[in-house]
């Protein structure tokens, strides 16, 4: 069967855990302007506004009401039971894949639970929401940490490893992503180019729908447990 699988996840996989997506109805971008909260320029103009945006999401994620759902759990089980190589590349900054048990995981758009030194790029675990007291321990003078997330115009994390995995995979599955943000939206092209089978799991026909060979329409939490069986 398959020897190498790459799974790309987006906000839709965490929607059923109660986290808002970006571009759906009631998504985060209905309430916030992308250029204000998801660009380096927005952060430079108003760091408190951007920290507030991430702090609200941090509080929800760590507030005790958000848990991994059946889709996260199914992927973690696949990792344990699959004989070949599996890499989950997530665009999500939540930690629901880790909580479900996934270990071969790459957060290409960063992690909500971490802050980053803007000078050295070293990351630090955040035990509470952001504030001016969060400074690095790697520089003198200590630098104020910024959210460890990838904004528009910034380079996503781990692209070399992702590229290698896509070049050599025989199955690529994209789950709960609108396919509107690059480079992640282009991963299906790379996988197709290398002869992999490509599968879209989504509630709707997303932006890159026509590039996928197989389509599984519905909730990720219903489809993934069946797919992994």
Interface residues with ligand BJW (CB under 6 A)? 10-12, 15-16, 21-24, 27, 38, 91, 93, 109, 149-156, 159, 176-178, 180-183, 202-204, 206, 219-220
Is residue 178 part of an annotated ligand binding site? Answer: yes
Question: Quick one: 4 or 178, whose CB is closer to ligand BJW?
Answer: 178
Is residue 20 part of an annotated ligand binding site? Answer: yes
107 in Cβ contact with 10 (< 8 Å):
no
Long-range contacts formed by 98-105: CB under 8 A, 24+ apart: 99/67, 99/68, 99/72, 100/68, 100/72, 100/73, 100/75, 100/76, 101/73, 101/76, 101/77, 102/72, 102/75, 102/76, 103/79, 104/79
Is residue 169 part of an annotated ligand binding site? Answer: no
166 in Cβ contact with 191 (< 8 Å):
yes
Catalytic residue among 109, 193, 209, 215: 109
Question: Quick one: 165 or 206, whose CB is closer to ligand BJW?
Answer: 206
Residue among 201, 125, 130, 187 nearest 156 (CA)? 187
- Min dist CB 177 to ligand BJW, Å, is 4
Is residue 101 part of an annotated ligand binding site? Answer: no
Q: Quote the tokens at residue 56.
A: 């609200």
- Min dist CB 161 to ligand BJW, Å, is 13
Do strands 105-107 and 85-90 pair parallel, antiparallel, or not at all (unpaired)? parallel
- Min dist CB 3 to ligand BJW, Å, is 26
Q: How far apart are CA 159 and CA 216, in angstroms?
A: 27
Is residue 15 part of an annotated ligand binding site? Answer: yes
Question: Quick one: 80 or 180, whose CB is closer to ligand BJW?
Answer: 180
Closest CB to ligand BJW belongs to which residue?
12
Q: Quote the tokens at residue 119.
A: 């000078």
Instruction: Please list, in sequence order, all residues whose beta carbon lies within 8 angstroms of the beta carbon of residue 181, skipping any fewer than 6 positions away.
Output: 91
Question: Quick one: 123 or 170, whose CB is closer to ligand BJW?
Answer: 123
Is residue 220 part of an annotated ligand binding site? Answer: yes
Question: Quick one: 52 or 170, whose CB is closer to ligand BJW?
Answer: 52
The 85-90 sheet, strands edge to edge = 105-107, 85-90, 4-9, 171-175, 197-202, 214-217
- Min dist CB 31 to ligand BJW, Å, is 13
Q: Confirm whether 109 is a catalytic residue.
A: yes
Provide the annotated active-site residues.
Answer: 109
Binding-site residue numbers for substrate are: 54, 57
Binding-site residue numbers for NAD(+) are: 10-29, 91-94, 176-178, 202-204, 220
């Amino acid at each position: 069967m398959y020897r190498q699988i790459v799974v790309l996840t987006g906000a839709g996989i965490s929607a059923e855990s109660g986290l808002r997506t970006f571009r759906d109805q009631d998504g985060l971008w209905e309430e916030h302007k992308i250029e204000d909260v998801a660009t380096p320029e927005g952060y430079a103009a108003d760091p408190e506004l951007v920290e507030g945006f991430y702090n609200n999401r941090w509080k929800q994620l760590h507030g005790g009401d958000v848990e991994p759902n059946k889709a996260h759990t199914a992927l973690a089980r696949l990792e344990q039971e699959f004989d070949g190589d599996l890499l989950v590349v997530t665009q999500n900054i939540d930690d629901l894949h880790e909580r479900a048990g996934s270990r071969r995981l790459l957060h290409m758009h960063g992690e909500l639970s971490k802050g980053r030194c803007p000078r050295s790029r070293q990351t630090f675990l955040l035990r509470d929401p952001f504030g001016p007291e969060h400074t690095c321990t790697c520089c003198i003078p200590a630098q104020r940490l910024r959210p460890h997330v990838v904004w528009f115009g910034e380079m996503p994390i781990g692209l070399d490893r992702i590229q290698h995995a896509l070049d050599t995979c025989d199955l690529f599955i994209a789950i709960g992503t609108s396919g509107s943000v690059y480079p992640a939206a282009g991963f299906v092209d790379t996988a197709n180019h290398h002869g992999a089978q490509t599968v879209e799991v989504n509630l709707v026909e997303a932006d890159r729908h026509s590039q996928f060979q197989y389509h599984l329409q519905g909730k990720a939490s219903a489809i993934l447990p069946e797919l992994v069986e």
